[in-house]
Amino acid sequence: MAEQTLFIVKPDAVQRNLIGEIISRFEKKGFKVMKLKMFNFTKKQAEEFYSVHKSKPFFNELVSFIISGRIVAAVIEGNNAIETTRLMIGSTKSFEAAPGSIRGDFGLGFTDNIIHASDSKQSFEKEVKVVFE
Ligand code: CMP
C-alpha cells in the first residue's frame, strides 16, 4: 500500500556532501521523491519538530545541532514507506547501526546521526506540517 514518509538529511551529512548518496538510496529502493527542500530550521521550528523530546535531557543538544547548518527534507512515497525507511536508516546510535543501513555505512555519531525519518504516521503528519507548510 503506497504510503508517505519524511526524512531529513541532517547538518553533518549535508556538510559531508552526502545529500545525493542518501536520496539516491531511497530512489534506487523504489521510492518516489514527492517533495524536496533545502533550508535552515529556525530555533522555533526545530523545537516544534522535536517537541516529543522536549522533556528529555538531550533536547537542547538536539535542537542546537539540527539548527547548526543547512538540512534537506524530503517526502517520499512507496510501499510501507514509514517502516521500510526506518529499516534503511538503521539504529539511532550510528556506531551501533548495522552495516548496509545509512547510519551504519556513513556515521559514528549519536546526536549527529546523518538522517532523521518519521517513526509513525502521526509523526509524519506533524513533521510534514512543520517542514513544508
Ligand atoms: P532522530 O531520529 O532525529 O530523533 C531524535 C534524535 O535525538 C535522534 O535522532 C538523535 O539524534 C537524538 N538523540 C536521541 N537520544 C539521544 C541521546 N541520549 N543523546 C543525544 N541525542 C540523542
- Residue range 93-119, pLDDT digits in tens: 999 999 999 999 999 999 999 999 999
Active site annotation includes 53: no
Determine contact, residues 71/41, Cβ cutoff 8 Å.
yes
- Residue range 21-74, pLDDT digits in tens: 999 999 999 999 999 999 999 999 999 999 999 999 999 999 999 999 999 999
Pocket of ligand 1 (CB under 6 A): 53, 58, 61-62, 92, 110-111, 113, 116
- Residue range 74-96, pLDDT digits in tens: 999 999 999 999 999 999 999 99
Residues with Cβ within 8 Å of 53's Cβ and at least 6 positions away in sequence, in order, are 59, 62
Band of pLDDT at residue 1, cut at 50, 70 and 90:
confident
Instruction: Specify the fold of 2-131.
Output: Alpha-Beta Plaits (3.30.70)
Please state the pTM of the whole predicted model.
Answer: 0.97
Going from the Cα of 35 to the center of ligand 1, the distance in angstroms, rounded, reads 24
Going from the Cα of 109 to the center of ligand 1, the distance in angstroms, rounded, reads 10
| Residue 11: C-alpha distances to residues 4, 18, 76 (Å) | 23, 10, 20
Going from the Cα of 111 to the center of ligand 1, the distance in angstroms, rounded, reads 5
pLDDT at 94: 98
pLDDT at 35: 98
Determine contact, residues 58/51, Cβ cutoff 8 Å.
no
Residue from 65, 111, 127 whose mutation best tests the ligand 1 pocket (most atoms within 8 A of CB): 111
Cell numbers placing 92? 539511532
